[in-house]
Amino acid sequence: MMNDPLANTLSTMFNAEKIGSTNCIVKPISNVIKNVLQIIKDNNYIGDFEIIKNNKGDIIKINLIGRINKIGVIKPRFAIKKNEFEKFEKRFLPAKDFGLIIVSTPKGIMTHYGAKEKNLGGVLLAYCY
């Protein structure tokens, strides 16, 4: 029984990166997982990913390129105001302007850089560097 599919997805990716695997398969999938993977891909931490349809539920095959040092979910999912990002950057990222925090905002899921640019708050989902 899985309580947090996003955490399981990121954990599977991190473990596959640590052992030097070039791809990993993740199941189950959701729109949040797809959006988070797209953000990570857009920031060049993973290669392409494809959704494979089957009759038991879809799976995602993720191509890994060896760029992930650490990735994980942020629990509890802190609600954050538009001027509080620096505190959580210091907590979850190793250095200034290194890595990204993924935030769910009223305008969709985006990085903390995009949320700061658009002057939005939201809920912290994950980090990656």
Mean pLDDT (the chain) is: 95
Q: 103-129 burial by CB neighbour count: b if 16+ within 10 A, else e?
A: bbbeeebbbbebbbeeebebebbbbbb
Q: Does residue 117 share a domain with residue 80?
A: yes
For residue 33, the one-letter residue type is I
Q: How many domains does the chain contain in total? A: 2
pTM for this model (two decimals): 0.93
What residue numbers bound the domain in which 25 lies?
5-64
Same domain, 88 and 118: yes
Q: How much is the pLDDT for 1?
A: 54
Q: Is residue 69 part of a domain?
A: no
> Per-residue pLDDT tens for 63-118?
999 999 999 999 999 999 999 999 999 999 999 889 999 999 999 999 999 999 99
| Residue 57's pLDDT band (cuts 50, 70, 90) | confident
pLDDT tens digits along 33-52: 999 999 999 999 999 999 99
- Write down which residue in 64, 87, 113 finishes a domain: 64
Reported as a pLDDT band with limits 50, 70 and 90, residue 6 is very high
Last residue of some domain: 20, 45, 64?
64
